[in-house]
Amino acid sequence: MANWQKIGSVEELKKKSLQEVKVGEKTFAISFLNNRFAAIDGICNHSGGPLGKGTIDPKTGHIKCPWHNWKYECESGKGEPPYQDFQVPIYALKIEEGNLMIDVEARTERVKEKSKDWSFLTPPKRKKGDKIRVLGISCTNMDFKNPRYSTSDALLDWGLANLRKVEVRKYNLGKMNIVPCEGYYSKDKSACTFPCTITQFNSKDEMWKIYQGLLWADVICISTPVRWGQASSLYYKMQERMNSIENQIDHYDQTPEDIEHSIALKNKVVCMIVTGGQDNIQSVMGELMRFWGQLGCRFPVLPMVGHSRGWSAEDMDHNVDFVKKSNRLRKEVDEMFERALRDVIEPK
Ligand code: FES
């Protein structure tokens, strides 16, 4: 049954080619193109973006979602080719006494594309007796066809190779295609989705491996060189893409129960290896702890191994030699992993 409701004055509504209108609980995208009004549902099929706040192409009549650019034809609500089988509802309009009226009962159904199965990006179920899982993430970059000795990567390899009775995975960010964060969060907190929208739509992007590894692991070890007093740029590329994990926690309107439920990396044990020719090791470690702590991770006692030659002895030829020969550094890495594993078995 029709349920006509007043939207507003035709003369006012004509001033914008696209606008968002709310009537009761419902949100509509009202367009005015070629002297015709049309109404489609204001909520995007993808992640609920506000279609009425998007843009309209006057040539094709397609409304573009402001969040991730999905398009819908303004009269039929159908997706742009080849997605025309998917649609948002459309609504009837009429003009009465200078006012635009809308029948808030939809004339067509919402038809969504079957979403891809993202269950591989959920925390795997643990069975009693499962081994502890350790993930190493090496953030050093180099020409991998002509590799050089990386002190941070070598110490990580050393530590992982010495682990017994655990499952180990390692990723080298320098060998992976991690697409930089596109900053959807800056449009709206809900536009930053998990899995990240880049993961959903860019098949070449490999950040999904990191997401999967992080959810899989009990212990996460980050190894990074110091670059101008900071972690490597590859580390930050990964960290930015983890906004999509952090963002699921950090909504101000969430209840404590929601927050508890949404901390995907809660209580994962994080440790780190930070090496460099110059100093600032402690600052880099502090920065890493700030970030991973914000994600709900915890740290063993002394969660880090650091090494640098310092400001006045930046003799990198000796630095590499020093690390190659340093039994002390290797022992420290082994002990750090021991503390991290103990923290999984007997959390403090
Ligand atoms: S394109 Fe509309 S919410 Fe993503």
Q: What is the pLDDT of residue 119?
A: 85
Mean pLDDT of the region 127-137:
93
Tell how far the Cα of 293 is from the centroid of ligand 1, in angstroms.
Answer: 30
Write the pLDDT tens digit of every residue in 166-218.
999 999 999 999 999 999 999 998 999 988 999 999 999 999 999 999 999 99
Nearest CA to 266 among 217, 304, 301?
217
Confidence grade of residue 99 (pLDDT, cut at 50, 70, 90) = very high
Helices (H), 188-228: 197-201, 207-216
Q: Among 65, 71, 72, 83, which residue has the most ligand 1 atoms within 8 Å of its CB, making it the best to mutate?
A: 65
- State yes or no: pLDDT of 26 exceeds 70: yes
Separation CA 319–CA 172 (nearest Å): 22
Separation CA 222–CA 291 (nearest Å): 12
Which residue owns the Cα nearest ligand 1 atom 1?
68
Helices (H), 223-315: 233-241, 243-249, 256-262, 281-294
Query: Which CATH number is 119-345's, of 3.90.79.10, 3.40.50.12280, 3.40.50.1370, 3.40.50.360?
Result: 3.40.50.360
Q: What are phi and psi of 4, to 5 degrees?
A: -80, 135
pTM of the model: 0.89
- State yes or no: pLDDT of 252 exceeds 60: no
Tell how far the Cα of 82 is from the centroid of ligand 1, in angstroms.
Answer: 17
Tell how far the Cα of 96 is from the centroid of ligand 1, in angstroms.
Answer: 33
Tell how far the Cα of 190 is from the centroid of ligand 1, in angstroms.
Answer: 10
Give residues (CB < 6 A) around ligand 1.
Answer: 44, 46-49, 65, 67-70
Which residue owns the Cα nearest ligand 1 atom 4?
68
Write the pLDDT tens digit of every residue in 298-333.
999 999 999 988 766 667 778 888 999 999 999 999
Confidence grade of residue 50 (pLDDT, cut at 50, 70, 90) = very high
Q: At what angle do helices 316-325 and 151-161 cross, to 10 degrees?
A: 10
Q: What does the block give as tokens for 197?
A: 């929208």
Separation CA 109–CA 50 (nearest Å): 18
Separation CA 310–CA 319 (nearest Å): 10
Tell how far the Cα of 212 is from the centroid of ligand 1, in angstroms.
Answer: 23
Q: Residues 249-284, buried b or exposed e (16+ Cβ, 10 A)? A: beeeeeeeeeeeebbbbeebbbbbbbbbbbbbbeeb
Atom of ligand 1 nearest to the CA of 69: 1
Q: What is the pLDDT of residue 256?
A: 61
Beta strands in the chain (DSSP E): 4-9, 18-23, 26-33, 36-41, 55-56, 62-64, 71-73, 90-91, 93-96, 99-103, 132-138, 166-172, 219-225, 269-276, 304-308
Separation CA 115–CA 196 (nearest Å): 14
Domain 4-103: which CATH class? mainly beta
- State yes or no: pLDDT of 262 exceeds 70: no
Mean pLDDT of the region 129-157:
95
CATH 2.102.10.10 domain range(s) in the chain: 4-103
Q: How is residue 230 annotated by DSSP?
A: B
Helices then strands, each counted (H, E), the chain: 10, 15
Nearest CA to 136 among 107, 172, 104?
172
Share of the chain above pLDDT 70, in %: 94
Q: Among 20, 41, 47, 71, which residue has the most ligand 1 atoms within 8 Å of its CB, making it the best to mutate?
A: 47
Nearest CA to 238 among 294, 173, 290, 192?
173
Amino acid at 157: D
The greatest distance separating any two alpha carbons of the chain, rounded to the nearest whole angstrom, comes to 88
CATH 3.40.50.360 domain range(s) in the chain: 119-345
Tell how far the Cα of 1 is from the centroid of ligand 1, in angstroms.
Answer: 30
- State yes or no: pLDDT of 250 exceeds 70: no
Write the pLDDT tens digit of every residue in 145-155.
999 999 999 99
Q: Among 68, 188, 189, which residue has the most ligand 1 atoms within 8 Å of its CB, making it the best to mutate?
A: 68
Q: What does the block give as tokens for 60?
A: 């094709």
